[in-house]
Amino acid sequence: SAVISQKPSRDICQRGTSLTIQCQVDSQVTMMFWYRQQPGQSLTLIATANQGSEATYESGFVIDKFPISRPNLTFSTLTVSNMSPEDSSIYLCSARTGLNTEAFFGQGTRLTVV
Amino acid sequence: AQSVAQPEDQVNVAEGNPLTVKCTYSVSGNPYLFWYVQYPNRGLQFLLKYITGDNLVKGSYGFEAEFNKSQTSFHLKKPSALVSDSALYFCAVRSAMDSNYQLIWGAGTKLIIKP
């Protein structure tokens, strides 16, 4: 199994500012993912963070709004740019080591934009 | 298109009674199936998975799930519920034919165990 440290755990931000969320895995992983989740709701995939190349974004999410870095096999960041209240949500980092392996999750970042 | 359905938004069970959280899926080819639990203000925790082999899969915290290919279901079960099992449960699936790593997630089922 892998242990994922995600920070910050929560933040309250002013609209128009940006927040960078960090995700550190205790072992090398093949794939890392970023999700958004409204409390009590299902997960929505934002993007797949690819090591050494640009992230692959899902429909409705763009790089200018959610730039992602993946400099190595254990670390990734997600930036929420030019925030608005609609960006208030829980952001989750996830990692998998193989096609038929389970995913592991960070504790999540609860973001509130005021 | 691949999909996962969790038909119950909420399941209420008395402590000590058996519990079932339902999941049905639709994928091309053989499925890889997963169950996760999320406690309040926490990330998701892996419970169990079905990849191949025995249809009955045992996982963490006394949970088990049965893969039923004919009914395309993967229901989560526990013989005797605990109040501490109260949480949000997610079923997820991907097709063995897919080359990407993405999981398709169900909407989640809130499990409430009453003392």
pLDDT at A114: 97
pLDDT at B41: 81
Chain-wide mean pLDDT for chain A? 94
User: 3-class SS at B46?
Assistant: strand
The answer, yes or no, to whether residue B97 has pLDDT greater than 90, is no
CATH number at residue B58: 2.60.40.10
Q: How far is A67 from B112, CA to CA, in rounded Å?
A: 38
Q: How far is B20 from B75, CA to CA, in rounded Å?
A: 7
Task: Output the DSSP codes for B32-57.
Answer: EEEEEEE-TTS-EEEEEEESSS-SEE
Interface touch A41/B108, C-beta < 8 Å: yes
Residues A62-82 have a mean pLDDT of 96
Kindly identify which residue of chain A lies nearest to residue B101, measuring between CA atoms. A99
* A72: number of Cβ within 10 Å: 11
The answer, yes or no, to whether residue A100 has pLDDT greater than 80, is no
pLDDT at B34: 96
CA of B81, closest CA in chain A: separation in Å?
21
The residue ranking higher by pLDDT, B16 or A103, is B16
B63 vs A: CB within 8 A: no
| pLDDT tens for each residue of A31-58 | 899 999 998 899 999 999 988 888 999 9
From the list B8, B36, B21, the residue with the least C-alpha distance to B93 is: B36
A55 vs B: CB within 8 A: no
Q: How far is A97 from A81, CA to CA, in rounded Å?
A: 29
pLDDT at B60: 93
CA of B55, closest CA in chain A: separation in Å?
16
What confidence tier does A18 reach under pLDDT thresholds 50, 70, 90? very high
A96 vs B: CB within 8 A: yes
Domain count for chain B: 1
Interface touch A33/B88, C-beta < 8 Å: no
pLDDT at B43: 87
The answer, yes or no, to whether residue A13 has pLDDT greater than 90, is yes
| pLDDT tens for each residue of B23-81 | 999 998 899 999 999 998 888 999 999 999 999 999 999 999 999 999 999 999 999 99
B86 vs A: CB within 8 A: no
Domain that holds residue B102: 3-114
The CATH superfamily holding the domain A4-113 is Immunoglobulins (2.60.40.10)
Q: Which residues of A touch B42 (CB under 8 A)?
A: 107-108
The answer, yes or no, to whether residue B99 has pLDDT greater than 80, is no
A112 vs B: CB within 8 A: no
Residue A44 sits at φ, ψ, to 5 deg, of: -115, 125
DSSP annotation of A53: S
pLDDT at A102: 87
